[in-house]
Amino acid sequence: MEDFKPQTPNAPFSCSYSAQIPELLQKLNCSLAITTYQAGKVIFISPKDADSLVQLPRTFSKPMGLALDPEKDKMALAARDEIIIFANSPGLAQNYPNSPGKYDSLYMPRATFHTGALDIHDLNWGKNGNLFAVNTLFSCIVSIDSDYNFTPYWIPPFIDRLASEDRCHLNGMAMQNGLPKFASAFNRGNTLQSWRETVTTSGVIFDLDSGETVAENLPMPHSPRIFGSGLYVLLSATGELAKIDLNTGKYDVIAKPGGFVRGMALHDEYLFIGLSKLRKNSSTFAKLDFAQNANVAGIAVIHLPTGAFAGKIEYQTSVDEIYDVHVLPGKVRPNILNTLKEDYKNGLMIPNATYWAQPVSKENT
């Protein structure tokens, strides 16, 4: 029987977790970052000690794809109609007025791209600081900058024109050498939401360089990732982690986390995979064979070299669906500020120095 440690029952974001999870995160010297558009939160999950976890949920409007730039220690978040750029400041974290000395990192909002509501899914930093996004609404992969709402980078060859029609539900992107290399979609349709009728059986993986389909007839592929020399993908309609054979297009099932799998990140030899509950009133999800059993939202941990199950985090309240999962290496108590509260305006960063601005007395103005 799995040994689970519960947090406060019925409290917001209450969860239970395998006994080994806090120790594993502590050993790996990292925290997890997840996005849940259903709850409108970015959540940091950290090891409080070897026996317990601590969470920090922060409110954003429909958070989806999350991207990390480890060299510059920056983060990008795709929200409802914008992409927000954050920069980490350990100095501001150390002197955070609400909790001095509590956090080892603090992601501060530094810029916003007003993209419009593009239903952006996967998001990644690339070479030369370029920011790439899967623009699901317009069925293409795009680059993001301050000149336009988006600039098309790659359009599937069967898409005859750009239109806000979510034609093939392009959703995932795997990076290689700083550029998008593979993409996942639910089909190869060229009409408004053509993927809905065959959503559980018509998934595809594309090679962006050749434009060819490298795998097809997949059950709702999400989150393609290149780990080492292998291409991995989550098959959401069967609850499986698979490795694609690029020569044959066939795949091997590496593990079966179960449930609706979406969002994954690798750190050391451990793969962290997002689990979502199925929407019971969805005609699409009702078609899935495991619909009655997919009733858990959380994180499954897989030891990738062996495919062995290494633990799980399960939410009892607040979180039903997870989109993205990332590992924050070297950060065991991170924080992030949104732009909904005024406190972020007081955190000032300049080269080689940081300041928390002090309120100006009215007597001196």
* Domains of the chain, residue spans: 4-344
Q: How far is CA 131 from CA 67, 89, 147, 158, 219, in A?
A: 9, 21, 13, 24, 28
pLDDT band for 217, please (50, 70, 90 cuts).
very high
What's the pLDDT at 33?
A: 98
Residue 128 has pLDDT above 70, yes or no: yes
CA proximity to 184, closest of 155, 206, 151, 156: 206
What's the pLDDT at 365?
A: 52
3-state secondary structure of 212: coil
Number of neighbouring beta carbons within 10 Å of residue 230: 14
What's the pLDDT at 246?
A: 95
Q: pLDDT per residue over 86-114, tens digit each?
A: 999 999 999 999 999 999 999 999 999 99
Measured distance CA(46)–CA(344) in Å, rounded: 22
pLDDT band for 213, please (50, 70, 90 cuts).
very high
Measured distance CA(322)–CA(314) in Å, rounded: 12
What's the pLDDT at 69?
A: 97
CA geometry: angle 35, 75, 117, nearest 5 deg: 60
List the strands of the sheet with 83-88, edge to edge.
66-69, 74-78, 83-88, 105-113, 334-336
What's the pLDDT at 2?
A: 46
Q: pLDDT per residue over 230-263, tens digit each?
A: 999 999 999 999 999 999 999 999 999 988 999 9
Model's pTM, two decimal places?
0.94
Give the rounded percent of residues in the chain with a pLDDT score beyond 90: 89
> What are 70-73's contacts with CB under 8 Å, separation 24+?
70/329, 72/129
Which residue type sits at 190?
N
Residue 6 has pLDDT above 60, yes or no: no
What's the pLDDT at 63?
A: 98
Q: pLDDT per residue over 316-331, tens digit each?
A: 999 999 999 999 999 9
Q: Quick one: tokens of 166?
A: 């979510």
Give the rounded percent of residues in the chain with a pLDDT score beyond 70: 92
Q: pLDDT per residue over 154-182, tens digit each?
A: 999 999 999 999 999 999 999 999 999 99
Residue 362 has pLDDT above 70, yes or no: no
What's the pLDDT at 293?
A: 65
What's the pLDDT at 202?
A: 97
Measured distance CA(166)–CA(157) in Å, rounded: 15
Question: Does the domain spanning 4-344 belong to CATH 3.20.20.70?
Answer: no
What's the pLDDT at 285?
A: 64
Mean pLDDT of 288-315: 88
Q: pLDDT per residue over 254-292, tens digit each?
A: 999 988 999 999 999 999 999 999 866 666 666 666 656
Strand pairing of 105-113 and 334-336? Answer: parallel
CA geometry: angle 21, 227, 239, nearest 5 deg: 60
Residue 360 has pLDDT above 90, yes or no: no
Q: Which of 7-16, 45-54, 88-97, 278-287 has the lowest mean pLDDT?
A: 278-287
Phi, psi of 196 (to 5 degrees): -65, -35
